[in-house]
Chains A and B, each alone.
Chain A
Amino acid sequence: MRYVHVGAQQLDFAEFYRESKDACLFAVLVSVGDRDVAQDLVDEAFARAWASWRSVSRHPAPAAWVVRTALNASISRWRKRRREVSLPDPGKVVTLAARQAGTGSRLDPRIMAALARLPARQRQVVTLRLLLDLETSRTAEVLGISPSAVKAHLARAIATLRTDLTTERQQEKSS
């Protein structure tokens, strides 16, 4: 019976991994800006999720757990290296990420830069609501804020993105 249980758990994790790995990678890429770094962080976070799958599978949003674990690890790495490496410019990094991410399709550097420029809380809400497709109530539970706050942050984020992208399109047309 024990082997059947473990096998079912593996299958459950494999399905979760297959369904969420791309969205998690993109969510982390938006924040860290480098495709290779994002891939390594996400792989490590999924490995940790597998190692604690019994508890992670009961998390309200396991994909959000993976993204946060990856970003926490990113902060730890940065803290370790901050005396040696200066922080990269977000605009340049996302442009690089857009080039690096090419697996056939190129990312739009304007959208990546606009996402990277969002304030942290707005970017967290965009990640959970738009990238991981969580409901408002689940997003609120994961972030520990109210559903109305989630809606407000999302509305502000979309307004900021719309302004950024519209301005850039107008500049392109005029030039």
Chain B
Amino acid sequence: MNDDEVITAVREQRDKVHSHTPVEEIISRGRTVRARRRIPGAVMGLAAVAAAGTALAFGLTGGHGAAPARSTGTIRTTAFTLVEHANGTATLTINPNVLLKPRTLQSDLRRGGIPAMVTTGRFCSSHPSPAGFRQVVTGQRSSPDTMTINPAAMPAGTELSFGYFKLSSGQETGQETVATLIDTNSYTCASTAPIVWPGEGHKMVVHGDIVATITTGGTRP
């Protein structure tokens, strides 16, 4: 049995299977899917309000021991600071000198009403990216580690994808945090940092629908 015979055998099996569901039935079901999506949009808005309220409550009670310190509308860890503003936006500041714990950032973002997926050594993106990223995330070139996030501008069925990479080249090290908007039903993940910044320093780079904060030029310990 050669390769062509194997391929032919597999394709012959495929050609024996037929779906008999009429397209009208699929479209009818699709209308139900659309209707279902409209409801979570409203619920997400309420959840954001509830989450802001929760953050306020945390601010009153304060933190203990190793738990992140919280003030009113603020979650502060050694790796990042997330500040929730009264207008519904949030400011995320990454500390480039501390290793990020993805699960902590992901759960804190979600608690703040920002659907997010945070990965280390991996970055997930949709092709094409959902529209509206520039309305959801804005950077401040004067403060390369800070991104402002507007969860109200996120289309239904999307979430923010953050990828965190440790960079190394010879004796030099650095880190890169990349963010984009993804379609939760359709995305792929890659283990390479999507933006390569050849220079040294501390930069915020906006490339298409991706924003990245990059720090390079540190010396390997």
Contact = CB atoms under 8 A, between A and B. Distances in A.
A69 B185 contact: yes
Nearest to A42: B19
B196 interface: no
A96 to B, nearest CB: 14
Contact of B21 (A21, A26, A131, A169): A21
Size category, B interface: 35 or more
Nearest to A25: B19
B186 A69 contact: yes
A13 B26 CA distance: 10
B10 A131 contact: yes
Interface stretch (B31-39, B109-117, B200-208): B31-39
Size category, A interface: 35 or more
B17 A47 contact: no
Interface string A30-48: 0000000001001110111
B6 A39 contact: no
Interface in A8-35: 10, 13-14, 17-18, 21-27, 29
Interface string B140-168: 00000000000000000100000000000
B1 A48 contact: no
A108 B19 CA distance: 18
Contacts of B16: 101, 103, 105-107
A131 B19 contact: no
Interface string A89-130: 000000000000101011110011001000000000010001
7 contacts: A43-B19, A48-B185, A51-B37, A130-B7, A130-B11, A161-B6, A162-B1
Interface of A: 10, 13-14, 17-18, 21-27, 29, 39, 42-44, 46-52, 55-56, 58-60, 65, 68-69, 72, 101, 103, 105-108, 111-112, 115, 126, 130-131, 141-145, 158, 161-162, 165-166, 169
